[in-house]
Amino acid sequence: LIITKNVSTPPSPPKNTMSSESSLLSSSYSSTSAPPVGASCWLCLEEGPDDSGAPLVRDCSCRGHSGFAHLPCLIQYAESKSR
């Protein structure tokens, strides 16, 4: 009787480049319509574009003024949660 174990190579770690993260997130977190008046980022609580001009985006099924965020806020939040 011969027993074999299937061992796979672990995936290589993702590249840590902000530009590739930004382009990936911007394509994933894009809103198809403009946010309603009064919508704010659920992370920084600011309405409209942030100081760098990044607009509010949403990629969820939240309704009304909920679920919007600035892309830089999402990136900062994700980086802080991954530590």
Q: How far apart are CA 49 and CA 54, in angstroms?
A: 5
**Which of helix, strand or coil describes residue 41?**
coil
Whether 41 and 70 have beta carbons less than 8 Å apart is answered as yes
Q: What is the pLDDT of residue 18?
A: 46
Contacts (Cβ under 8 Å, ≥6 apart) of 77: 43, 69
What's the distance, Cα to Cα, between the start and end of the chain in Å?
46
**What's 55's DSSP letter?**
P
pLDDT digits (tens, 9 = 90+) for 47-75: 999 999 999 999 888 787 889 999 999 99
Whole-prediction pTM value? 0.57
* Token digits of residue 77: 């939040």
